[in-house]
Structure 1
Amino acid sequence: MEDISVPFSEVHYLTIEKVGNVPVTKGNFQSLPAHVQTWLAQMIQLCTPKAVYISDGSQEEATIVTKKLVDYGQLSPLKKYENCYICRTDPRDVARVESKTFIVTNDKHSSVPHSREGAKCILGLWMSPQDISKELDTRFPGCMTGRTLMVIPFSMGPVGSPLSKIGVQVTDSYYVLLSMRVMTRVSPDIWRHLAHGEEFVRCLHSVGVPLPAAQPIVNNWPCNPEKTMIVHFPDPRKVMSFGSGYGGNSLLGKKCFALRIAGRIAKDEGWLAEHMLIMSITNPKGEEKFIAAAFPSACGKTNLAMLTPTIPGYTVQCVGDDIAWMRFDKKTGELRAINPEAGFFGVAPGTNMKTNPNAILTCLKNSIFTNVGETADSGFYWEGLEDETPAGTEVTSWTGEKYKLGEDKTKKSSHPNARFCCPARQCPIIHSRWEDPAGVPISAIIFGGRRPEGVPLVIESLNWKHGVFLASQLKSESTAAAEFTGKQIMHDPFAMRPFVGYNFGHYIQHWLDFEKDPNNKLPKIFHVNWFRLDENNKFLWPGFGDNIRVLDWIIRRVNNEDVADVSPVGLLPKKGSINLDGLDINWEKLLSIPKDYWTGDIEETLTWLDGQLGDDLPQDIRAEIQKQKDRISQLN
């Protein structure tokens, strides 16, 4: 795919500004803050683009860029909807690449823990500054030859909020330019907030295909998978991503900035950057509580954030579906949270009008769909939409294969990690305070994963330390968002295994340390499991909108209602304390804690945590593990 020039008007070519010998086709480089100019000049010299383009995030800009991408074949309009587009990536560029994602610090163990000898650490990958320099020197010099270097000023969180942070991304992908406009707050106002030399996160991204391309470009999707590498420098607050145009590998405001780099900033500044949704629940009495919840990717986090309650009198509103930045208010002690993102980048397969009607309604306009199927009438399609799409409908799959629904069950329309990218403001249940610069007060924190056996529907932690332990031992079936395949149960502590930008043991200790400040009003911590199976591999709990029944119980526990019994693994609901009207539920199986299972599970947890973290595993967690062992031994 050749590069695209995107001038706003021909007048820009009458008096073109230059940086060195490189023309600036849009924007005023000299008006940028001096420290931004210095960094950009270095990036221009490194990447040698043919032109520089400074984004302003405007609708006019988006319209022009979109038209150019349609003309060039990277985007196709989905004419069934308003301003929606579909694209298909090179099949080699479809997921996060955790094995090629590195943290770079002078001291190895400020990035990764002291794992035991013989244990392969999966809690981060470290590379020395010297070694990474050699790797990057074979990638970035000249990587944008023949292409336009785009400058994207963006805020994570509402512009100007004391809880927000600013980034500037350089990229040679127009797909990234459009997607960052949806996922972050792109605005020339950003420059004003950097006018006095304020810190910003430096984000450099290239698809890694200088022009003319040495290899054929598949699906008009330039990428360089053999050389893909995503590198984080937590100390200077910098990200460098090469070779991939997909999602979190290229939209650097997402996992790279909002979790890995922000997590390190949060440790330094005393707050939390977490892989969590934020939602509010209002009960029939009109009482509203805000909840944050962490689940590994593709475990229903977006579904929960946009839940449609199945029992009357409850209202759910969404603040965010993926990432939460949380800080204890120094005056009130409340834990206040913002959603640093401006859009949803959700997994499409499995999303439908039953599982998540609000997500479907959100993405019916102004959205980009990646690696999904397309119906003959120019609509989107993916696995999970069978009940909403007539049999016999012709579908073009993400790989370009045409087939008719229902004729061949082996055909798949979409990649398992296919995505929709849409503005959060369009969500029918978006909270009126979702952009409140002061954040919303969090009353409860929930962790959960796919646990097909042994783990009860809901557990309340005994205290803060026990809650941090519950988060530390979080496990789930692996998902399509990562490189791993098969349904193996994997450890994913805090649902942050791929996303912590510093030593994971220090990260757990950071959580524990919040108890030391008596001013902090610590939320209650819970663990949920919607995915327990019976002996016939059928779900014991219906999930989806019926999860409001569990959330209601959690709110009642936040209010200290006497609806819980102490068990060896935490506080469990008293029988009859969860509203089961209209459901056929085997309560005993759903809440049971089999001694053999839990005895083996806690031993495996200790072995894994000790192997991964070694001496960096906080003593408080070791103590919690021993307490749980002792409690389980008392089970009948």
Structure 2
Amino acid sequence: MLPTQHQFVVFSPIQLQRFQLTDSNYVVLSMRIMSRVSNDVWDALGENDFVRCIHSVGLPRPVKQRVINHWPCNPERVLIAHRPAEREIWSFGSGYGGNSLLGKKCFALRIASNIAKDEGWMAEHMLIMGVTRPNGKEHFVAAAFPSACGKTNLAMLQPTLPGWKVRCLGDDIAWMKFGEDGRLYAINPEAGFFGVAPGTSNKTNPMAVATFQKNSIFTNVGETIDGEYFWEGLEEEIKDKNIEMINWLGEKWKIGDEGACAHPNSRFAAPASQCPIIHPDWESPKGVPIEAIIFGGRRPAGVPLVFETRSWLHGIFTGACMKSEATAAAEHKNANNKSFWPGYGENIRVIEWILRRLDDEPNLGVDTPIGVVPKKVSICIAA
């Protein structure tokens, strides 16, 4: 077994330790990127105040049987068990990141949520971002979207409005606790990004592309014969459109061939410290004060681009009731099958409206049964 020791936030108001044992080199290397690994863990460790994580791909070494799609695993005997009362996670038979990188969703959301309930804080599936207005005032915002609905893109947003700046503190998980001043503070318990690769490009998320140029791991993506990564969404950026590739199944592939080159859920793991717009306070033990929480997803028909709930209770109810489509909806598209709202960097226009509402600026919204929706002229859509 390969031992790994992981610690998330050291000497913070929210501090948890986790140890993981695994027989997967892939897990060791990935978690070295995704979590804070330090000898300081021994100084913070008590008798029984850490979470035990045990993982095995389920194939004893040396592997003598056929490996499925190059992944050592035991799909017939997969077992993933979360034991909140015992502060334990068991994972057997799977090498998939969600089942093997136990410091992510298994620990930082599921077990942490149980610990948070006992200790009076929250573990949430949210990004954390700092948004600075042209006047220099910075606001911190958290946002919760389902997986593959744009958390990483929003966290690393490049504003199209002049004078605005966005800096990233985290793209996936937030631990939140009220401070002595009564404000809600959030920290990022992770040390890296584990992003969905397909669709990520210099057009959609140039900051993510810049982040994973070194010290990164790509999972289930395609590879060109000259050793470059490839996935759907990079067709316009690759120099040689006819270059031969190996797809995620290990088969020869070219652009235009049947099927996808990369798995739809293929991933990149990259150190957050390499992000060009990482916030200087992204590892602050105290965290940053959250002024707004956004719930979002892929919008079905009949839902406005943005609306403000009337209270925290209304907001919690709305967030719990929100629906999201698995793929881009057919509704809200024009004759060219393009969404009417361009998204990506243009989303700063929605955030601008949210921040203006925080300042109680008048004449921005209309009261409706679902909450306050923007007036027609209140969101800046000018070029």
Of residues 351, 354, 366 in structure 2, which corresponds to 1:554?
A: 354
Q: Does 1:336 align with 2:137?
A: no
Say how many residue pairs are matched: 380
Of residues 155, 158, 175 in structure 1, which corresponds to 2:7?
A: 155
Distance 1:366 1:212 in 2: 28
5+ residue gaps, structure 1:
1-148, 480-486, 490-530, 583-636
Partner of 2:15: 164
Residues 69, 249 of structure 2: 8 Å contact kept:
no
SS in 1 for 2:127: strand
Q: Does 1:215 align with 2:15?
A: no
Distance 1:244 1:266 in 2: 28
Of residues 290, 300, 304 in structure 2, which corresponds to 1:442?
A: 290
Distance 1:393 1:300 in 2: 30
Q: Does 1:314 align with 2:187?
A: no
5+ residue gaps, structure 2:
none
Partner of 2:378: 577
Partner of 1:414: 262
SS in 1 for 2:348: helix
SS in 1 for 2:349: helix
Q: Aligned-pair distance for 1:378?
A: 1.0
Amino acid at match of 2:312: W
Measured against aligned partners, the alpha-carbon deviations of 1:451-480 in whole angstroms (never above 9, x if no partner) come to 23111000100111110111110111126x
Partner of 1:45: none
Q: Aligned-pair distance for 1:393?
A: 2.1
Amino acid at match of 2:116: A
Measured against aligned partners, the alpha-carbon deviations of 1:498-520 in whole angstroms (never above 9, x if no partner) come to xxxxxxxxxxxxxxxxxxxxxxx
Distance 1:534 1:256 in 2: 37
Of residues 272, 276, 286 in structure 1, which corresponds to 2:136?
A: 286
Of residues 36, 45, 49 in structure 2, which corresponds to 1:199?
A: 49
Distance 1:468 1:449 in 2: 15
Distance 1:312 1:191 in 2: 48
Q: Aligned-pair distance for 1:161?
A: 1.8
Distance 2:253 2:284 in 1: 47
Partner of 2:226: 377
Partner of 1:268: 118
Amino acid at match of 1:382: W
Amino acid at match of 2:218: F
Amino acid at match of 1:241: S
Q: Aligned-pair distance for 1:319?
A: 0.1
Distance 1:189 1:225 in 2: 37
SS in 2 for 1:546: helix
Q: Does 1:433 align with 2:234?
A: no
Q: Aligned-pair distance for 1:207?
A: 0.6
Q: CA RMSD in A?
A: 1.6
SS in 2 for 1:167: strand
Q: Aligned-pair distance for 1:187?
A: 1.7
Measured against aligned partners, the alpha-carbon deviations of 1:325-351 in whole angstroms (never above 9, x if no partner) come to 00011x200100001000000000000
Distance 1:535 1:360 in 2: 29
Distance 2:320 2:70 in 1: 42
Distance 1:285 1:206 in 2: 52
TM-score by length of 1: 0.58
Distance 2:13 2:331 in 1: 41
Q: Aligned-pair distance for 1:218?
A: 3.6
Measured against aligned partners, the alpha-carbon deviations of 1:126-180 in whole angstroms (never above 9, x if no partner) come to xxxxxxxxxxxxxxxxxxxxxxx122121123x2222221100011111111111
Distance 2:338 2:194 in 1: 29
Distance 1:574 1:218 in 2: 55
Measured against aligned partners, the alpha-carbon deviations of 1:274-325 in whole angstroms (never above 9, x if no partner) come to 0000001001011100000000000011000000111110000000000000
Amino acid at match of 1:150: L
Amino acid at match of 1:434: W
Residues 532, 540 of structure 1: 8 Å contact kept:
no
Amino acid at match of 1:216: R
The structure richer in helix per residue is: 1
SS in 1 for 2:189: coil
Of residues 25, 34, 39 in structure 2, which corresponds to 1:188?
A: 39
SS in 1 for 2:162: coil
Measured against aligned partners, the alpha-carbon deviations of 1:76-110 in whole angstroms (never above 9, x if no partner) come to xxxxxxxxxxxxxxxxxxxxxxxxxxxxxxxxxxx
Q: Does 1:248 align with 2:98?
A: yes
SS in 2 for 1:185: coil
- After superposition, where does 1:596-611 map in structure 2 within 5 Å? none
SS in 1 for 2:355: helix
Deviates more, 1:534-543 or 1:302-311: 534-543
- After superposition, where does 1:101-112 map in structure 2 within 5 Å? none
SS in 1 for 2:361: coil
Distance 2:148 2:58 in 1: 29
Residues 343, 422 of structure 1: 8 Å contact kept:
yes
Q: Which runs of 4+ in 1 moved over 3 A?
A: 211-214, 534-538
**Identity of aligned pairs, percent?**
60
Partner of 1:362: 211
Partner of 1:423: 271
Of residues 173, 188, 213 in structure 1, which corresponds to 2:24?
A: 173
Q: Aligned-pair distance for 1:411?
A: 3.6
Which of structures 1 and 2 has the bigger CA Rg? 1
Residues 205, 250 of structure 1: 8 Å contact kept:
yes
Amino acid at match of 2:378: S
Q: Aligned-pair distance for 1:574?
A: 1.7
SS in 2 for 1:475: coil
Residues 532, 541 of structure 1: 8 Å contact kept:
no
Q: Aligned-pair distance for 1:375?
A: 1.3
Distance 1:274 1:292 in 2: 10
Of residues 305, 312, 322 in structure 2, which corresponds to 1:457?
A: 305
Q: Does 1:324 align with 2:164?
A: no
Deviates more, 1:222-231 or 1:390-399: 390-399
Q: Aligned-pair distance for 1:376?
A: 2.0
Q: Aligned-pair distance for 1:212?
A: 4.8
Partner of 2:154: 304
Amino acid at match of 1:399: L
SS in 1 for 2:290: strand
SS in 2 for 1:453: coil
Distance 1:212 1:258 in 2: 32
SS in 2 for 1:284: coil
